[in-house]
Amino acid sequence: MKRRGSWRWCFIVAQIILFGYWATQQVHAVPYESGVAYNYAEKYAFKVCSDGYFFEESYPPSYLGVGVPVPSGGYDCAHFVSCCIGSEPHEKGGGLNVPSRTEAYGEPSANLLGDWLLDSGIGTEVFSVEELKKGSFINYDWDGNGSWDHVALYLGDHKIAAHSESHWNDDWKLGGAAKYRFIYIPESTSPSLTDWPFIQRDLQNTGNNPDALNLRNPKIKDSLTIEGTWGYAQPIAEGNMVYVASGEGYVYRVDMKSLQYPPPFYTGAQEIKVTPALAGNKLYVLDSNNVLWVLNKKTGQALGNAPIGLDYYWQTAPQVWKNYILFTVGPYIVRVRDDIPEPQIQAVDSRRFVKAKSEEGYDFLATGAIKDGVFYCMNCACQVLAVNIENWQILWDFGEIPVPKEIGNLKYLGNPKCIVLAGDVLVLKNNWRYDFNNPYAQEGETGFIYAINIKTHDKILWNQEIGLGSASPVFKDNGLYPFGLFARPGVPGAIDGIIYCLDPKTGDLLTPKAISVNDDVELSIGGGVMYLACWNFKKVFGVIFDPFEILWQRDTLAHPFSAVVPVSNEVYVSMIEFKSEAAAMPKKMSLRPAKPIHAQTAESIVIASFSEAPPEFKKGDVSQDGQITAHDAQLIMKHVVGQNKLTPEQLELADVSGNGQVSAYDAGLVMQMCTGVKIKKGVIKK
């Protein structure tokens, strides 16, 4: 392609402004077929594209006719790639909806086409050609001036296709550029079930991330404090990035590696009450005005928003299945299709299908669960509905779940955070209390868990009384782990908390031993460790499964308010720090606050990362194998005579004498430690 000059750029600048506005208003979730993009490129690499236009100059395009041989030279590179990856009306390419601002299809600027892929959340910038797959995108900066001059479609195996000049199956470097930009376009911009990272809960709400690190000896690695007020929303994480939605309507993106965060995105709402959802390159945030925001997870830029138009207070956290976002608002079950040109919003009123004894009974409080394209949700009257996500039909409903014992004056006043799918068994939990706002557990208050088979859904499989608590059960290896607590008789504010291991199919105890933690906790599982985040104690416990027992406990920096989030190499604990403990919380509060935290005068959230503590080695164990042997003395002597070089950690272990130097005397001291020979400096005696 020719080096671009500045000809006719006044007109193009105006078009860029319009293009930038368009890009920020759209919500993209269109399947991408890289094989079709490849076939389109092969067909038109040396021909005019299917819209018949070719950019002989930078503007306007010339109509030459479909499929005629391309002229020599020109400025057609971005137009060609737009057609390859896009949906040109006469012949579809890869299927993306690339915006057009001229008579020709697509974006004519190599610079702006790449920016659009990144800003829309469709593409992800990577740092080498090795990270690209067929159908991806390469930008070229010929002279290093910071502007991308050219673009090519990546074919795989280090080969590309391009226009101006035409290339097919040529080496990707094209003779060499000062800089390259590599943009990976995934096969589908909508996440599949297996694409989800662990972000608090998976789609079945099992609370289990089997790929996470097993922390056996954790310590606090880093922590970060963000000032502000905080509501119901819990932080979510992917890799070293933690996303936090505040009670003031802000969304933060925190890098726990650098302990920095850019300015937050402001939704304009008073607060964010429910946990956001992270899928692909997008973050979905439902604010208290019942507006669903779609943000680019890397930049925080708003890609679009969808006002739901329902005036209800209670919401549940959004969940993503394919290109649908599912959640509830009041008695409504809501589906938003993340699509072009506008998000498609559909809401079904659950009151058409079930009958509750009070208007409050219709509200949904617990986040639903998704399996095989079906969304399961439970309202405050303990009624369950199953909805086919794609055709948006109610498949079945389960009437109000009966209470298995006399509850007296107790009122059903709250669900846990989630309902859980343990295989084909839907596990539900509810609480019965005298007063939802009372911070103390009262004698007689209790809670139950129930199980329904989603295949038959004709009866309750089993039920168990397990006590109070908002924590949802967690599920691992055919074991269901619910948590419940009871008020300790005669001791106001004191509680007895228990974690059981049950068979989800029968409700039977799988192990006779239960874990006692006398606090209100949240549960999660990472690898082979269950994490208990304890509200009152300001602690995190680690539980192993075989035997089922507490392995360790660690102090935290404040009150853990959400479940521990285990990722690949560490875990994140989010905590609430109060301006005044005495003013904000009653003494010996036994339950986490039922109202949003900003009503409890919270002033900040603290996020801490825990990682595996390095093993401690004794002086002389230079090989760091847990033993002091003649081999360690040999390593010291090789260092002294220059045959090898010890690391800083090894040098510290080798300085047995403690004089700040490593010498043959230290090697002799190591030999004394492993043989019993007494040594004086310079002399060896038996």
- Domain segments of the chain: what residues? 9-184, 208-612, 630-685
pLDDT digits (tens, 9 = 90+) for 72-97: 889 999 999 999 999 999 999 998 98
Q: Judging by DSSP bridges, how do beta strands 602-612 and 218-227 pair with one another? A: antiparallel
Q: In whole numbers, what is the pLDDT of the chain averaged over residues?
A: 84
d(CA 41, CA 232): 49
Q: Do domains 9-184 and 208-612 have the same CATH topology?
A: no
Provide the 8-state DSSP code for 35: H
pLDDT digits (tens, 9 = 90+) for 639-671: 999 888 888 889 999 999 999 999 999 999 999
Question: How many percent of the chain have pLDDT more than 90?
Answer: 44
Tokens of 337: 């299709």
pLDDT digits (tens, 9 = 90+) for 472-530: 899 999 899 999 998 888 887 788 899 999 999 999 999 877 888 888 899 999 889 99
Helix (H) or strand (E) holding 427: strand 425-433
First to last CA, the chain: 83
Phi then psi for residue 90, to 5 deg, are -80, -30
Q: Reduced to 3 DSSP states, what percent helix, strand and coil does the chain have, rounded to the nearest 5? A: 15, 35, 50
3-state SS class at 603:
strand
pLDDT digits (tens, 9 = 90+) for 404-437: 677 777 776 556 678 999 999 999 988 888 877 7
Q: How far is CA 73 from CA 41, 152, 164, 169, in A?
A: 18, 15, 5, 18
Looking up tokens 């498609």, which residue turns up?
344
Q: Which CATH architecture has domain 9-184?
A: Alpha-Beta Complex (3.90)
Q: Judging by DSSP bridges, how do beta strands 374-378 and 384-388 pair with one another? A: antiparallel
Mean pLDDT across the stretch 134-144? 94
Beta bridge partners of 525: 208, 530
Q: Residue 122 in contact with residue 164, Cβ under 8 Å?
A: no
d(CA 379, CA 419): 11
Tokens of 67: 């499929």
pTM score over 0.75: no
Neighbours of 530 (CB within 10 A): 27
**Range in 104-118, 303-317, 415-429, 451-465 with the lowest mean pLDDT:** 415-429
Higher pLDDT, 280 or 207: 207
Tokens of 406: 């006399």
3-state SS class at 352:
helix
Quickly state the pLDDT bin for 6 (edges 50, 70, 90): very low
Q: How far is CA 461 from CA 185, 285, 395, 431, in A?
A: 46, 36, 20, 19
Closest CA to 277 of 331, 314, 327: 327
d(CA 397, CA 1): 62
Tokens of 244: 């936090």
Closest CA to 487 of 471, 469, 464: 469
Mean pLDDT across the stretch 258-277? 90
- Amino acid at site 505: K
Tokens of 417: 């955070």
Looking up tokens 């360790």, which residue turns up?
552
d(CA 405, CA 408): 9
Provide the 8-state DSSP code for 386: E
Tokens of 47: 């021909």
Q: How far is CA 235 from CA 76, 110, 358, 435, in A?
A: 45, 37, 33, 28
Residues 256-287 as b or e (16 or more Cβ within 10 Å = b): beeeebeebbebebebbbbbbbbbbbbbbbbb
pLDDT digits (tens, 9 = 90+) for 173-231: 998 999 999 999 987 544 333 333 444 568 888 888 887 878 888 888 899 998 877 76
Phi then psi for residue 21, to 5 deg, are -65, -45
d(CA 306, CA 315): 15
Phi then psi for residue 428, to 5 deg, are -120, 145
Closest CA to 573 of 526, 506, 505: 526
CA 334 centroid distance within chain: 22
Q: Which CATH architecture has domain 208-612?
A: 7 Propeller (2.130)
